């Protein structure tokens, strides 16, 4: 973790993009802690908040797109080919597929807030044959919500970001999940009501 934070100190926005891309693809990078640190540096004035958020969204979008692309390319072979590299076994991949079958494209919004499910969800959706335009709408919206949530948390915590990060990580994770679930529920209700309004 210290190495990742040092990279951000040294290389700033390019490091944010690269580290989040790799973290969301599935490499062991503490994504949420990284975003809290970015928010803290924005609080201190060492980074620009708009540029930090833009870099975080870009990195998140790149990572989730790579995962989707790999899932689309490999299909059911994901655990066999990527398993040794990203620690994905058949059981974990089946769990992600069950999540996808239950939530579909809406699951991408929630998956960002669940470590370990971000890249698995995108891999499973890619393997399911979800079309890219639909994927992009939900994946990139999720990237904005997730990045903004944790950068804002780091900014608000200020000097307390390091000592409080574990507690606030859990708190903001559940706040984010709750907010996203509420939005998903609203969208689904509005979608179900549409046909009856037309008749």
User: 77-90 pLDDT, tens per residue?
Assistant: 888 888 777 778 78
The pLDDT confidence band at residue 76, using thresholds 50, 70 and 90, is confident
d(CA 52, CA 38): 7
Check whether 168 has a pLDDT greater than 90: no
3-state DSSP helix/strand/coil % of the chain, to nearest 5:
90, 0, 10
- CA 137 to mean position of chain CA atoms: 14
DSSP states of 19-37: HHHHHHHTSS--HHHHHHH
Check whether 61 has a pLDDT greater than 50: yes
Q: What is the mean pLDDT of residues 135-158?
A: 90
Domain ranges of the chain: 2-198
According to the model, what pLDDT value does residue 174 have? 65
Asked whether 39 and 153 are in contact (CB, 8 A), the reply is: yes
Question: What pTM was computed for the model?
Answer: 0.79
According to the model, what pLDDT value does residue 199 have? 43
Asked whether 169 and 32 are in contact (CB, 8 A), the reply is: yes
pLDDT in tens, 25-38: 888 888 888 999 99
Q: What is the CA angle 100-55-108, rounded to 5?
A: 10
According to the model, what pLDDT value does residue 198 have? 46
According to the model, what pLDDT value does residue 98 have? 81
Residue count of the chain: 199
């Amino acid at each position: 973790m210290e190495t990742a934070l040092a990279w951000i100190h040294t290389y700033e926005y390019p490091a944010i993009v690269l580290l989040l891309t790799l973290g969301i693809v599935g490499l062991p990078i503490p994504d949420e802690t990284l975003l809290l640190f970015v928010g803290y540096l924005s609080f201190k004035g060492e980074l620009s908040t708009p540029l930090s958020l833009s870099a975080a969204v870009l990195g998140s979008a790149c990572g989730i797109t790579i995962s989707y692309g790999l899932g689309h390319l490999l299909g059911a072979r994901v655990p066999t080919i990527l398993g040794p590299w990203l620690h994905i076994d058949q059981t974990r991949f089946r769990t992600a597929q069950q999540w996808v079958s239950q939530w579909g494209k809406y699951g991408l919004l929630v998956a960002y807030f669940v470590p370990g499910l971000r890249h698995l969800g995108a891999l499973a959706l890619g393997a399911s044959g979800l079309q890219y335009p639909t994927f992009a709408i939900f994946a990139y919206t999720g990237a904005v919500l997730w990045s903004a949530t944790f950068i804002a948390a780091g900014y608000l915590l200020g000097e307390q970001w390091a000592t409080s990060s574990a507690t606030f990580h859990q708190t903001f994770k559940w706040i984010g999940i709750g907010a996203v679930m509420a939005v998903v529920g609203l969208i689904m209700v509005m979608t179900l009501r549409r046909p009856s309004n037309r008749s």
